[in-house]
Chain A
Amino acid sequence: MAIGLIMAYLNIGAGHHEAAGAAHGAAAEHGAGAHGGEHAPIWLRRLFASLWQSNVFFLGISAVGTVFVAIHTVAYAGWSIMVRRIAEAFSAWILPGGVIMLIVFFASGHNLFHWRTEGIMDPASPNYDAIIAGKAGFLNLGFYVARMVIFIAIWWFFSKRLRDLSLQEDQIGGTGFWDKSINVSAMFLVLYAVSSSMSAWDWVMSIDTHWFSTMFGWYVFASWWVSGIAGILLTAIYLKQAGYLRFLNANHLHDLGKLMFGFSIFWTYVWFSQFMLIWYANLPEEAVYFNQRLGGFDGKYTWLFFFNLIINFAFPFLVLMTRDAKRQMIMLKIVATAVLIGHWLDFYMMIMPGTLQGDSGFIIEIGTGLVFLGGFLLLMTKRLSQASLVPVNHPFVEESVHHTT
């Protein structure tokens, strides 16, 4: 019942967000539509792009919940059992997120992906682009959709499998379920390593079809992963302050804070590795990517480019540097919120210049983001309320209770 209460509260919060988001979106669409004039409706393209951006972001976070569980299972980690159910609950969004992704992909046509333009791979067509035609073996509709379905199916299946094993363990007990979940986790991690990287190429990198970067899979994964940890941290603090998770203490938060701190730096490392090589080599086909983001479209994205680094690197790095900051809920809440907003903006930076060039704005985008946040929270809290908040029969639960750092 108590969990039901907290859920109801969150639902109201989510519903409120959703309503606000929808209102925002509608207002912006109206405004933009009026300005659109005789050209292709910009508001529709903005809607597609922002749906895609928020969906990739939240779907990634959702899968990261399972990755978190899997990594901690194969590493025999005991401390994180206290937040395991939160990570499990994150994966509730994988299936709806995947369905939305397919719908948006088919509905948007060539508005999102330049390589889907009619006749772009046909030498006889005026739209012919030799470079894109050379990528036809990988970027064709059938293979692309098949990959998308397979990746989402893999994520969904293993999330469900790990969750089921954990729930059965709650009922029956013993170490058998945990032994099994080690095998499941190990398999999932191998498949996720490949699928996360390839989904980053497919869903984000193929927007800038001519461009390529071998760092991109890691870059997107780092962004998802650190956002997922920030999300788990925020949920844990929220539950703790609402009076649940009594055994969660500053030591667990400290470790989650360390992960968030460390992976913020990891994200920066990957980001910088990609940027510096392209900046140094200065090859036109590579540099165009940063050309668009640094000063392109009348400098539209320039501030965001630097803000991205400040909010995702400098801020968490400097604020979470001390031990005390990682053990205080208020500091962690501020930084986790900043990290989530920052990485949402990071995806904005990846997707918008390629799809909308200079036409992107913030009102539809933020509205869509809030709608997704609402939907995500709705399903996540629902799943969270369906089982005990702590896997009571997990072999390491005792270790987690007595965890000290």
Chain B
Amino acid sequence: MTKRYALGIFEDEDVLMHAIENVRAAGVKIYDVFSPYPVHGIDDALGIERSRLPIAAFFYGMCGLSFALWMQIYMLGFDWPMIIGGKPHIGLPAFIPVSFELTVLFCCHGMVITFYTISGLYPRLKVPVMDVRSTDDKFVMAIELKEDADLGNLTQLLRANGASEVNEKEMTKE
């Protein structure tokens, strides 16, 4: 499937941020913005919703904590009780370091796996690059062009908001 995009090239971060606001205010839907480095506040400017990953992380952590506590209490308290240092079989202070580590372990692995899955990141993934200069020193704003889109107006809008050039690009996505 081939799609057409209008690419506004910006030189400056602040100009880009204002342009995003104005372009969105003009009712144009921005497909995505490519920048050489993470820009503070760009998520809010683009209206991207906050990730729900922390909620998932909380539950992964809870799983890890429950598993760790269950494992230690069951193993050391019921399955094979041993006297260690004269402490009770279920001595909670001694269980806390292991519980902490397993909470972190479950949390991290759960988050990484979830993130890769929902973002569709897998080995040998081909990432379409709109404009190679976005990996160097330019900011690229991509706007998807519908069949009957008016490129002239869009070019004017982007130029008026500080784009140094406006290109058209076709991307093929299999």
* Contact indicator per residue, chain B 80-116, by CB within 8 Å of chain A (1) or not (0): 0000011100000110110000000000000000000
Contact indicator B94/A404 (Cβ below 8 Å): no
Q: How far is the CB of A215 from chain B (nearest CB, A)?
A: 15
In the complex, A275 Cα to B93 Cα: how many Å?
9
Q: List 9 A-B contacts (CB under 8 A).
A: A272-B93, A275-B93, A279-B93, A280-B85, A280-B87, A280-B94, A282-B85, A282-B86, A404-B41
CB closest residue in chain B, given A275:
B93
Residue B67 at the chain A interface, CB threshold 8 Å:
no
Residue A125 at the chain B interface, CB threshold 8 Å:
no
State the total of A-B contacts with C-beta under 8 angstroms. Answer: 20
Residue A321 at the chain B interface, CB threshold 8 Å:
yes
CB closest residue in chain B, given A272:
B96
**Which residues of chain A are near B47, meaning CB under 8 Å?**
none
Residue A276 at the chain B interface, CB threshold 8 Å:
yes
**Which residues of chain A are near B94, meaning CB under 8 Å?**
276, 280
**Which residues of chain B are near A322, meaning CB under 8 Å?**
54
CB-contact partner of B40 in A275, A276, A321, A404, under 8 A = A404
Which chain A residues in 287-323 approach chain B with CB under 8 Å? 321-323
Q: How far is the CB of A46 from chain B (nearest CB, A)?
A: 32
Which chain B residues in 43-95 approach chain A with CB under 8 Å? 50, 54, 58, 85-87, 93-94
In the complex, A282 Cα to B85 Cα: how many Å?
9
Please name the 5 residue pairs, one residue from A and one from B, whose CB atoms are nearest each other, closest first: A404-B41, A404-B40, A276-B93, A279-B93, A280-B85
CB closest residue in chain A, given B85:
A280
**Which residues of chain B are near A276, meaning CB under 8 Å?**
93-94, 96-97
Q: How far is the CB of B38 from chain A (nearest CB, A)?
A: 12
Q: How far is the CB of A264 from chain B (nearest CB, A)?
A: 15
Interface size on B, residues (CB 8 A): 12
**Which residues of chain A are near B97, meaning CB under 8 Å?**
276
**Which residues of chain B are near A321, meaning CB under 8 Å?**
58
**Which residues of chain A are near B40, meaning CB under 8 Å?**
404
In the complex, A276 Cα to B95 Cα: how many Å?
10
CB closest residue in chain B, given A277:
B93
**Size range of the chain A interface in the assembly:** 10 to 19
Which chain A residues in 244-302 approach chain B with CB under 8 Å? 272, 275-276, 279-280, 282
Q: How far is the CB of B24 from chain A (nearest CB, A)?
A: 18
Q: Report B's interface with A, CB cutoff 8 A.
A: 40-41, 50, 54, 58, 85-87, 93-94, 96-97
Q: Which of A275, A282, A322, A404 has most chain B Cβ within 10 Å?
A: A404
* Contact indicator per residue, chain A 127-149, by CB within 8 Å of chain B (1) or not (0): 00000000000000000000000
Which chain A residues in 369-405 approach chain B with CB under 8 Å? 404
In the complex, A280 Cα to B86 Cα: how many Å?
9
**Which residues of chain B are near A280, meaning CB under 8 Å?**
85, 87, 93-94
**Which residues of chain A are near B54, meaning CB under 8 Å?**
322-323
CB closest residue in chain A, given B50:
A323
CB closest residue in chain A, given B84:
A280
CB closest residue in chain B, given A269:
B100
CB closest residue in chain A, given B41:
A404
**Which residues of chain A are near B85, meaning CB under 8 Å?**
280, 282
In the complex, A275 Cα to B97 Cα: how many Å?
13
Q: How far is the CB of A282 from chain B (nearest CB, A)?
A: 7
**Which residues of chain B are near A279, meaning CB under 8 Å?**
93
In the complex, A192 Cα to B40 Cα: how many Å?
34
In the complex, A159 Cα to B40 Cα: how many Å?
34
In the complex, A321 Cα to B41 Cα: how many Å?
21
* Contact indicator per residue, chain A 225-242, by CB within 8 Å of chain B (1) or not (0): 000000000000000000
**Which residues of chain A are near B86, meaning CB under 8 Å?**
282
* Contact indicator per residue, chain A 66-106, by CB within 8 Å of chain B (1) or not (0): 00000000000000000000000000000000000000000
In the complex, A28 Cα to B96 Cα: how many Å?
41
CB closest residue in chain B, given A321:
B58
CB closest residue in chain B, given A276:
B93
**Which residues of chain A are near B50, meaning CB under 8 Å?**
323
Q: Apart from A272-B93, A275-B93, A276-B96, what are 17 other A-B pairs with CB-CB below 8 Å?
A: A272-B96, A276-B93, A276-B94, A276-B97, A279-B93, A280-B85, A280-B87, A280-B93, A280-B94, A282-B85, A282-B86, A321-B58, A322-B54, A323-B50, A323-B54, A404-B40, A404-B41
Q: How far is the CB of B70 from chain A (nearest CB, A)?
A: 21
In the complex, A275 Cα to B41 Cα: how many Å?
43
In the complex, A312 Cα to B7 Cα: how many Å?
52
**Which residues of chain A are near B58, meaning CB under 8 Å?**
321
CB closest residue in chain A, given B86:
A282
**Which residues of chain A are near B93, meaning CB under 8 Å?**
272, 275-276, 279-280
**Which residues of chain A are near B87, meaning CB under 8 Å?**
280
**Which residues of chain A are near B41, meaning CB under 8 Å?**
404
In the complex, A321 Cα to B55 Cα: how many Å?
10
Which chain A residues in 215-230 approach chain B with CB under 8 Å? none
In the complex, A323 Cα to B94 Cα: how many Å?
31
Q: How far is the CB of A273 from chain B (nearest CB, A)?
A: 10
In the complex, A280 Cα to B58 Cα: how many Å?
30
In the complex, A280 Cα to B40 Cα: how many Å?
47
